[in-house]
Amino acid sequence: MKSFLLALLKSRSGLFGFVLVLVFILAALLAPYLGLPVPTRSSLVARMTAPTWTGLFSPGAHPLGTDELGRDILSRIIYGSRLTLTIAATAVVLGGIVGTLLGIVAGYYRGMVDRVLMRIVDIQLALPLMLLALLVIAALGPSTSNLIVVLALTSWLRYARIIRGQVLALREREFILSAHAIGASTWRIMIKHLLPNVMTPALVIATLELARIIIMDAALSFLGLGVQPPNPSWGRMLADGRVYISTAWWIVTFPGIAILITVLSVNLLGDWMRDYFDPKLRTSR
């Protein structure tokens, strides 16, 4: 952990990403203690208040303005990040684990296992993701956990396909043969020899996927299938705010910026982590 932080301090972009992610996480965790207005409390008098930077610490201040129901946007973004980040992170981790493992299994066993798994991937890729998500949610009903499952479902195949390709190449490498030669079990070969060597592509996909999933979550919320009102989520805020883009630009702009910064910082952090976990690059720092 110490070396991790030391290495992080040496990378400007990695540190930047790390700090931003940390700020988002802390803000989400500490939201109730920040003295923010209740995110769901509407106030008709304060409808669509433009952002004001005067009297920031007075109780009625809305630094990022209010939405069409007079709810404080800053508060909604911070409270919204709790749901959005939890949903996105869980979905990325879930999809990543399932996809990586299935990719390893397909690439390692080849043959029938591989063919079946890859056909499933092909079929799913042929279906529009949104349609799939709509179908599943329509069938299961909208809830946070269903949303996570659906998002993970749209995500695993990206890992599976790329990791499978990597494993196909890796399994011919001599260190895998060497593991067979000492009598290592299939499980050991997968976990100790294949997995560490596919972590880099998996991490790259994960950072891209996190961004995609946040946007997809927004899209689903936009269609009313994601987080249910009045709970705030970034996607929902975008969806609701779009109508007012010409009259009250802040309603839609600030959640958009929040998504942008999150995706950017995760990508920066991911890039750095990819290098960090590569022993070849680590010693050179």
Partner 1 sequence: MTKAPLLEIRNLTVAFDTPSGTVHAVNDVSYSIEEGETLGIVGESGSGKSVHALSMVGLIATPPGRIVRGEVIFNGRNLLALSQRELFDLRGREIGFVFQDPMTSLNPVLTIERQIAEPLRRHFGMSASQARIRVIELLELVGIPDAEQRARQYPHEFSGGMRQRVMIAIGISCNPKLLIADEATTALDVTVQAQILDLVRELKRKIGTTVIWITHDMGVVAGLADTVQVMYGGRIMESGPVRSVFYDPRGAYTWGLLKSLPHGERRGTNRLYQIPGNPPDLTQEPVGDPFAPRNPFATDRCRVETPPLVNAPDSVPGHKVAAWYDLRAEIQRMEGRP
Partner 2 sequence: MSDTLSTTAPQAGSPLVSVRGLSKHYGGERRLLGGSAPLLKAVNDVSFEIAPGETLGLVGESGSGKSTTGRILLQLETPTAGNIAFRGQDITGLSKHALKPYRRDMQIIFQDPYASLSPRMQVGEFVGEPFDVHGLSGSRSERQDRVASLFRKVGLDPSFMKRYPHEFSGGQRQRVNIARAIALNPAFIVADEPITALDVSIQAQIVNLFQDLQDELGLTYLFIAHDLSMIRYLCHRVAVMLRGRIVEIGPCEAIFDNPQHAYTRALLSAIPVPDPDIERSRRPLSFDVNANLPSEEAVLRPVGDRHFVLEG
66 has which bridge partners?
72
Piece in contact with partner 1 (CB under 8 A), picked from 39-47, 95-103, 133-141, 276-284: 276-284
Query: Does the footprint of partner 2 cover residue 283 (CB under 8 A)?
Result: yes
Query: Does the footprint of partner 1 cover residue 277 (CB under 8 A)?
Result: no
How far apart CA 249 and CA 218 sit, in angstroms, is: 18
Cβ closer to partner 2: 12 or 192?
192
CB 206 within 8 Å of CB 183:
no
Distances (CA, A) of 180 to 41, 86, 185, 197: 63, 40, 8, 17
How far apart CA 138 and CA 148 sit, in angstroms, is: 14
Query: Does the footprint of partner 1 cover residue 283 (CB under 8 A)?
Result: yes
Report the partner that residue 13 touches, choosing among partner 1, partner 2, none (CB closer than 5 to 8 A by kind): none
Cβ closer to partner 2: 122 or 278?
278
Closest to 146 in 3D by CA, of 156, 129, 127, 133: 133
Structure tokens at 89: 């992170």
Maximal C-alpha separation, the chain: 76
Cβ closer to partner 1: 173 or 282?
282
Cβ closer to partner 2: 59 or 183?
183
174-213 positions binding partner 2, by CB under 8 A: 174-175, 177-186, 188, 192-193, 196-197, 199
Chain positions contacting partner 2, by CB under 8 A: 173-175, 177-186, 188, 192-193, 196-197, 199, 279-280, 283
